[in-house]
Structure 1
């Protein structure tokens, strides 16, 4: 059976704006010795086989070497406590890459799975501002960057990225606190990306 999910996503890492990892297809090194990143995905609508997964949120926390394509990622996954057991199993299969799609390509890069936790996830996408709070583990807010000299107000877009979407809005974190899976970091003022996403396999 096929699956499809679509919604909005945003991320925050400890690179400076604009992160070289994502914009180089993982072929250029991060700005610092380790890349520490959170990616939050809100599924506005989705179906995995016969399971409706609409309205749920999943977040990925990762700690990687500076050159992400070398592998050795340490990664943990947060699942929305609002998900039923069937929904959690279905979304978990998609975001672990077991069901193909974009996350399957990252599978060989993961050297250590730090765990899966179920938590209350509050996700807000306000157009240019994006927020997620995950229990006591993550408190994150990012804003898309718009230059005061940009008369269009559209902001900076990076195209041709591919994952998790082809075109990402560039921005920075206004609030960033993470204490999860044995990783503790703050990326306030650092790189952020956001975009609508649409995956299927």
Structure 2
């Protein structure tokens, strides 16, 4: 019998595209290919009897063309604080083996370059999000201010990491990663964030 699971929390992504990311509209990335850091903070969740509250996950990826066309190369980072059972649960969920929306996302992966345990931080404030992986990699993003001081949002985009939620449009203050050929060191590029909810199978 498949294990019932559910997780919810906050997610962010920041990539190499300039301006609003075309990938979420199923269009080619602005730089030809697209490299990104994606992070999730699980506020509350469980995989069967295994509690997943307050754990973090991160993904570094490179897509050779439009994200929706797949063939991603990825490095998956699991929270170092997770015990053996939690690591297995997170690997099953985000590796696409446990069903739900992560299974769809995982179907776009062509090559898993590595799965690593690292200290992962994820902080939230009203104006942005900050993901850290180890001591050297990060995505630090700040929301773009829209009309009357409100955040700029996107709804009903066809390619969604967190379906059913409005995306806040942001810009990276820092985007840094150098591991397994996915090399990033830039700022002022596309970033997005929102709550997320996943469940399976």
TM over 0.5: yes
Secondary structure at 1:32 match in 2: coil
Q: Contact (CA 8 Å) 1:13, 1:187: kept in 2 or not?
A: no
2:119–2:134 CA contact under 8 A, matched in 1: yes
1:10-29 aligned within 5 A: 10-22=12-24, 24=25, 27-29=26-28
Q: Supply the distance in 1 between the matched residues of 2:6 and 2:59 (Cα, whole angstroms).
A: 19
Is the deviation greater in 58-67 or in 101-110?
Answer: 101-110
Q: What displacement does 1:137 show?
A: 4.1
1:50-199 matches, within 5 Å, as 50-147=49-146, 150-151=147-148, 153-161=149-157, 162-166=160-164, 167-199=166-198
Show CA shifts across 1:37-93 (max 9, x none): 110000000011110000000001100112223322101100110101100110111
> 2:128 touches 2:170 (CA, 8 Å); kept in 1?
no
Instruction: Report deviation, 1:129.
Output: 1.6
**1:118, 1:194 → 2: CA distance?**
23
Structure 1 residue 142: deviation in Å? 0.1
What is the CA distance between 1:15 and its match in structure 2?
Answer: 0.7
Q: What value does the CA root-mean-square deviation take over the aligned residues?
A: 1.3
Residue pair 2:137, 2:178 contacting (<8 A) in 1 also: yes
Unaligned runs of 5+ in 2: none
Structure 1 pair 165–108 and aligned structure 2 pair: CA distance change class (3 A)? closer
The question of whether the paired residues in 2 share the 8 Å contact of 1:32 and 1:66 is answered with no
Q: Give the match for residue 5 of structure 1.
A: 7
Runs of 4+ in 1 over 4 A off after TM superposition: none
Structure 1 gap segments, 5+ residues each: none
| Maintained 8 Å contact 2:118/2:134 | yes
Count how many residue pairs are aligned between Structure 1 and Structure 2: 195
For normalisation by structure 2, the TM-score amounts to: 0.92
